[in-house]
Structure 1
């Protein structure tokens, strides 16, 4: 039996079955086009494709460097090589491993090949994951940041594998992460940036591996948030064991924010404290504490990473909003206009929604190609229709659809993808909405807003049990999110659909008490109370709704397009609102 050492590249298309189901002919045509381009690139880099099945392929290379360079060229080359709409582009996931393999004719077998396939499975769409064996051969030879994702247990692989992510979109000068004190190249000038520092171990040296693992996981989770730039783990760990001022760290690494933390063991419990600090002012923007049992140490580690990422995202957004507010109007960029719009985006009042629309239009005037501004504008117009803040909801929905089409390529922006998906869902196209939202979560799995919108899609497609699960995940990730009221009402809606009306009413009353300006909560409270026979509460809620929204009618409510796939619930809600005393037309 012949054996040899080779670098193996495995690739497949993320979500191929779903894309094919939406448009089989064009998807297959795009796959053939991509395969042809990949074959050319593999050949150009001295490789050979030795296996292909379905939407995947496997290739061998004589060196790890050639394999990784080819992987990066594949991802770059396929960005604009497809004629499909941006939201239906084929996005490949790639894994690269270096190992001893078995030669069987033209085929290659063994763990060396299997590990590459498993690495490909954990890569995000348009992402590249490599093994530690590959990483050892890349120093000074590729101009890309390599971020450690820690040791991973891969399916059917008997031992943990050290995994790195190739940040191929963030090109740096070969041999360095920060050059002459300057930030890494490839960062958008509008992106806030942060570093996760080594956490302080307040327990014994035996916990050091866990402390480092927590930092690894948090860094990896935050690196998936495209709203900000995260310094690679290896650069951050040059500060391990040193006392440093956060202001010095900010200047040396070119970052705006610093994440710090401590880990302490007490008996069979672990406590992790985390804080986000403004590097320039040294002020704390956010902090939290997490506790868990030692026997669940690795599950605890993953959960903390997800929750920290989910909480830091809105904390940084809030800090950027405050910074934009302090700038004089003459110096505002498109990014600043969008940041100023954010506090007005969350569907509480007609006037704040209109302010957001105006700010987003100004952002588009400054930068007509700013996809996020277009997508958020679509969300605002859709919200205006859904909350019946307009006499012409269909016109608002048309404007939402036009804004989505004007957004262009937003395939690398989870916030824009979520906004577009949310707007499309309200417009009634739940399948296209799900495509947007699932792409957002593939890029940033800790995006609370995306989980909430996926919950609403489940409601609008008559799947309340799944909706409950998704809303719960969103609330766990970001319990202090400005959109928390929306997630709570979504949870209540899903419970009402499952017959748990008393629980739904309790949540709606909580929202009414804590968010009095969220007037559309009175719709639900009125309807659900009427369904239980509590006509006193139903009529009170109906009167509050009419006082806040004098133009509300059952006819206009029933006409909302998101009712299309739940007609039975549309009828139930309308009848209950009628009993509560709301006008038909």
Structure 2
């Protein structure tokens, strides 16, 4: 029996069964085109394909470096081939690479060396690359990509834990530098980033619903994989637990995850009921739960909607849990990630005191890690809020600081939807709606279920005088994350869109609801005063004006009109100013 050492590359397509169910012929044509390009790239990098099955290919290379370089080129080429397709129709490949001893059987290769590559491929996110520790040892200084440790992982049918790493191929480091050294968003998240697994849901109906139950889990996994705030275990790894009763603590230890998503599906006539919960794997405590119902006549639309809503709700739930963990840590052990988590609750435009508390935490994070793009992005967002909400006595200074932080962030946030959204929101407050749109569109391309990005995109539409488009975006945001800490901001954005469209009384009603529920948020009184006055309701306008001056005694109409967001809508600014005057607010 001949044996040899080889670098094995294994690929498959994420969500292939869903894509073929939607359009089998087009999907197969696209797969054949991708496989043809992959075969070319494998040959160019000195490798050969020795196995294929369905949507997957397996190739061998004489070196680990060649295999990883080829894997990156495959992802880049496949991405370019599908750029013109809708996001939900693109073929996203997952790749695993292992260096190990294999058994030679004719033209075929067998053994653990091949099996580990396949298991690593299952761990990879859509459009992701996962490599073993044996591959990682050969890459220092030879590839310009950040390598993120995923820890030791227990792989199915592999008797020992395997050290795994993620190749952050979209984020290059300078050529020749150790790809695993130096602080970066990716490496930091490899250490600190929480991880999550979506377990197979329990089917409480008949066997005929099994395909739907598995499809829901696959869609939720794909939706959450687009979020860069946590690492999502591949569906194949999660499905090794299907049909077994397991303790979430055991799942957490075996897969190395912090959080577990569980669920049940039950059919009643033509209705489906899905219950989902998020559990802390170590503490076994439930952090969030929700129930969804829908008709079965459009099964795929229902799957997509549930996946989007679950992803939108789980994101802030995990963020809240991570904030609580960071609060419990002693100051001496805080890292840049922890400091950003501590700043999170103060970022959302409640009042100037909240932002004042966030800024030093973010500055401390940057002092620890000057390349932390997300910290720079949130710092830009804080200074821009000071400018946009008129919380600053020095607007030119805060404008300069916001733009400087934006430029510092832009170099390292290409794959971080939250940071892209923060920069987009900052630019919007600074009056640059076109650049803001570019950042927000990029954030939503990466994570279509990002409620905050949809909300900021709604504000951009309002600031461009497009109320109908704004309403659609705010409705999307509120549907994705109805219990979001930012829900009050989404509601006020929707109210502004209504006011711009002429529904002033309805807008005033929403503003009143917001200030009653959130007394610490005072800036809605400005809008409520103007809208009531414009609608002819002077009693409400004077009441809101009185509340506004009690909270902001230095408020003047002249200062209010200096907000950069009014640049694109001068007529609306004039109408707002006139409403404020009629309510008796001071001009200077």
TM-score over 0.5 for the pair: yes
Please give the secondary structure, in 2, of the residue aligned with 1:9: helix
**Which residue of the partner structure matches residue 81 of structure 1?**
none
Counterpart Cα distance in 2 of 1:462 and 1:119? 30
Q: Is the 8 A contact 2:454 2:477 kept in 1?
A: yes
Q: Please say if 1:489 is aligned against 2:492.
A: yes
**Which residue of the partner structure matches residue 438 of structure 1?**
441
Matched ranges for 1:494-509 at <5 A: 494-509=497-512
Q: Please say if 1:9 is aligned against 2:34.
A: yes
**Which residue of the partner structure matches residue 582 of structure 2?**
579
Q: Is the 8 A contact 1:45 1:67 kept in 2?
A: no
**Which residue of the partner structure matches residue 165 of structure 1?**
126
**Which residue of the partner structure matches residue 519 of structure 1?**
522
Counterpart Cα distance in 1 of 2:307 and 2:245? 24
Counterpart Cα distance in 2 of 1:581 and 1:5? 65
Matched ranges for 1:346-425 at <5 A: 346-407=348-409, 408-425=411-428
Counterpart Cα distance in 1 of 2:420 and 2:82? 27
Q: Is the 8 A contact 1:145 1:177 kept in 2?
A: no
Counterpart Cα distance in 1 of 2:30 and 2:520? 65
Counterpart Cα distance in 2 of 1:364 and 1:11? 45
C-alpha distance after superposition, 1:15-60 (max 9, x if no partner): xxxxxxxxxxxxxxxxxxxxxxx9x96872479xxxxxxxxxxxxx
Matched ranges for 1:70-89 at <5 A: 73=69, 76=72
**Which residue of the partner structure matches residue 299 of structure 2?**
297
The Cα shift of 1:145 comes to: 2.9
Matched ranges for 1:451-490 at <5 A: 451-490=454-493
The Cα shift of 1:165 comes to: 3.1
Please give the secondary structure, in 2, of the residue aligned with 1:227: coil
Gaps of at least 5 residues in structure 1 are 13-37, 48-62, 79-90, 97-116, 149-163
**Which residue of the partner structure matches residue 87 of structure 1?**
none
The Cα shift of 1:466 comes to: 0.4
Please give the secondary structure, in 1, of the residue aligned with 2:292: strand
**Which residue of the partner structure matches residue 19 of structure 2?**
none
Task: Give the root-mean-square deviation of aligned CA atoms.
Answer: 3.4
**Which residue of the partner structure matches residue 92 of structure 2?**
129
Counterpart Cα distance in 1 of 2:86 and 2:551? 49
C-alpha distance after superposition, 1:50-71 (max 9, x if no partner): xxxxxxxxxxxxx945699999
Q: 1:131 to 1:165 in 2, by over 3 A?
A: closer
Counterpart Cα distance in 2 of 1:139 and 1:95? 26
Counterpart Cα distance in 2 of 1:302 and 1:393? 44
C-alpha distance after superposition, 1:306-355 (max 9, x if no partner): 00000000000000000000000000000000000001111112111101
Q: Is the 8 A contact 2:274 2:291 kept in 1?
A: yes
Counterpart Cα distance in 1 of 2:308 and 2:491? 20
**Which residue of the partner structure matches residue 145 of structure 1?**
121
Counterpart Cα distance in 2 of 1:410 and 1:11? 32
**Which residue of the partner structure matches residue 53 of structure 1?**
none
Q: 1:349 to 1:244 in 2, by over 3 A?
A: same
Divergent runs of 4+, >6 A: 40-43, 66-72, 174-177
Aligned length, in residue pairs: 489
Q: Is the 8 A contact 2:122 2:237 kept in 1?
A: no
1:185 pairs, out of 165, 180, 196, with 165
**Which residue of the partner structure matches residue 85 of structure 1?**
none
Please give the secondary structure, in 2, of the residue aligned with 1:188: helix
Q: Which moved more, 1:315-324 or 1:261-270?
A: 261-270
Matched ranges for 1:252-331 at <5 A: 252-331=254-333
Gaps of at least 5 residues in structure 2 are 1-28, 48-55, 96-108, 136-151, 167-188
Q: 1:449 to 1:74 in 2, by over 3 A?
A: farther
- TM-score, with structure 2 as normaliser: 0.77
